């Protein structure tokens, strides 16, 4: 199925397809002069940054990020980042006094940092999505092994149990890296976020095909999954080690997402599944949530923007989706027990 996370990670990609040096804010000469002066003097207005005083080639002190304990390093930013951030803050405060409207800097709205987090609301909602997935996975596990009959007293009757376990792990991994990326947008966290999202989209497509076509034979599953796994793995290697092509990445993700949507929507109607309304609700509500990405507005109080709100909408959809998975397990288990008798 194209569950809310297939939609979710599709939207994450659309959120990041920006030119980092083509926004109105960083094109402002006043901003550019401020950043240049800050990088030369180590000060933006009345604020001065110790990390601007050390170069990466300084053999006496070493790079700034190696001079603090590990537990403090995450909250530290390099000289350029601090200069950009505080120059942006000062300019936006001045504009606010003159009733000006916020603009984007390097492709992002002017967010307010909290405990070193670049987009705190998106971080919080990403963590809540991770927690919702964990809750759904645990409840699924308890239902299978403690509340429903087991085959020979050991194995569940539900044929797709291992597929959903893998799905849960990939989903939690993806939301984890989403939280990390929104905390600190650097090349490494960006690639980890993109890669984990592509992996989940690809696996979700495989899962949609296997479940909707009721593929239970292991050999057939391998035959169906192998080419898709190869494609996804190749794409991940491409964006990580050759070129992070945003346009191509978007096409790949849209293709996998739309294919899942069609598969699950059609299957819901053809199969007459007893809980198909939950399936359709997630797809329909997820589609409406996409409108938040289209209605892009500056963050309220420097914290809450459309992207963060979209992250918030996926939290209740997570509970509904895992409810559908549990219902599907009960439905298939009931059929399995009847056949066994």
Sequence-distant (6+) residues with CB within 8 A of 306 are 292, 293, 295, 296, 297
Residue 37 has a CB neighbour count (10 Å cut-off) of 14
What average pLDDT does the segment 75-87 reach?
A: 79
**In the 8-state DSSP scheme, what is residue 302?**
T
Query: Scanning the structure block, which residue is given the tokens 């009959």?
Result: 149
Q: Give CA–CA dist 284/268, Å, rounded.
A: 13
pTM comes to 0.84
Tokens representing 182 are 């929104």
What would you report as the CA-atom Rg of the chain, rounded to the nearest whole angstrom? 24
Pick the residue with more confidence: 233 or 53?
Answer: 233
Cα 85–Cα 91–Cα 92 angle in degrees, nearest 5: 85
Q: What is the pLDDT of residues 90-139, one digit of tens each?
A: 888 888 888 778 888 877 888 888 887 888 999 999 999 999 999 999 99
How confident is the model at residue 95, as a pLDDT?
83
Per domain, the residue ranges of the chain are 4-18+117-340, 29-97
Instruction: Provide the total of helices (H) and of strands (E) in the chain, helices listed first.
Output: 11, 4
How confident is the model at residue 336, as a pLDDT?
82
Please say if the pLDDT value at position 58 is more than 60: no
Residue 189 has a CB neighbour count (10 Å cut-off) of 18
Share of the chain above pLDDT 90, in %: 39
How confident is the model at residue 76, as a pLDDT?
61
Sequence-distant (6+) residues with CB within 8 A of 38 are 44, 49, 52, 79, 82, 83, 86, 87
Q: For residue 6, what are the CA distances in angstroms to 66, 200, 221, 306?
A: 38, 7, 21, 18
Q: Give CA–CA dist 99/86, Å, rounded.
A: 20
Instruction: Write a three-state SS string for 155-179.
Output: EECCCCHHHHHHHHHHHHHHHHHHH
Contact 108, 26 (CB under 8 A): no
DSSP 174-228: HHHHHHHHHH---HHHHHHHHHHHHHHHHHHHHHHHHHHTT---HHHHHHHHHHH
DSSP 34-91: HHHHHHHHSEETTEE-GGGG--TT-TTT--GGGSS-HHHHTT---HHHHHHHHHHHHH
Pick the residue with more confidence: 80 or 228?
Answer: 228
How confident is the model at residue 223, as a pLDDT?
95
Please say if the pLDDT value at position 6 is more than 60: no
Residue 110 has a CB neighbour count (10 Å cut-off) of 19
Q: Give CA–CA dist 197/178, Å, rounded.
A: 9
Contact 315, 128 (CB under 8 A): yes
Q: Give CA–CA dist 138/151, Å, rounded.
A: 20
The domain made up of 4-18+117-340 has a fold known as Rhopdopsin 7-helix transmembrane proteins (1.20.1070)
Indicate the pLDDT class of residue 3, thresholds 50, 70 and 90.
Answer: very low
Most confident residue range from 50-64, 227-241, 273-287: 227-241
């Amino acid at each position: 199925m194209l569950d809310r996370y297939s939609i979710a990670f599709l939207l994450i990609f659309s959120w990041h397809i920006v030119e980092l040096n083509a926004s109105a804010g960083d094109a402002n000469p006043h901003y550019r002069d401020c950043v240049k002066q800050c990088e030369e003097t180590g000060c933006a207005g009345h604020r001065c940054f110790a990390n601007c005083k050390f170069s990466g080639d300084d053999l006496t002190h070493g790079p700034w990020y190696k001079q603090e304990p590990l537990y403090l390093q995450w909250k530290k930013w390099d000289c350029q980042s601090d200069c950009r951030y505080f120059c942006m803050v000062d300019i936006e405060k001045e504009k606010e006094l003159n009733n000006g409207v916020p603009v984007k800097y390097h492709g992002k709205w002017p967010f307010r940092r909290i405990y070193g987090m670049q987009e705190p609301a998106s971080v919080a909602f990403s963590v809540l999505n991770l927690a919702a997935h964990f809750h759904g996975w645990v409840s699924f596990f308890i239902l299978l092994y403690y509340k429903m009959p087991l085959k020979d007293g050991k194995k569940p009757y539900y044929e797709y149990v291992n597929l959903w376990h893998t799905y849960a792990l990939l989903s939690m991994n993806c939301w984890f890296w989403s939280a990390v990326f929104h905390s600190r947008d650097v090349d490494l966290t960006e690639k980890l976020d993109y890669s984990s999202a592509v992996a989940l989209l690809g696996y979700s497509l495989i899962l949609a095909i296997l479940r909707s076509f009721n593929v239970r034979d292991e050999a057939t599953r391998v035959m169906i999954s192998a080419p898709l796994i190869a494609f996804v793995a190749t794409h991940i290697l491409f964006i990580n080690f050759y070129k992070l092509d945003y346009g191509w990445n978007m096409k790949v993700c849209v293709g996998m997402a739309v294919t899942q949507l069609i598969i699950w929507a059609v299957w819901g109607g053809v199969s007459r599944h007893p809980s198909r309304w939950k399936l359709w609700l997630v797809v329909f509500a997820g589609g409406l949530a996409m409108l938040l990405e289209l209605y892009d507005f500056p963050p309220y109080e420097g914290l809450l923007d459309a992207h963060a709100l979209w992250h918030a909408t996926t939290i209740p959809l997570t509970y509904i989706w895992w409810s559908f998975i549990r219902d599907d397990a009960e439905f298939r288990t009931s059929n399995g027990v009847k056949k066994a008798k």
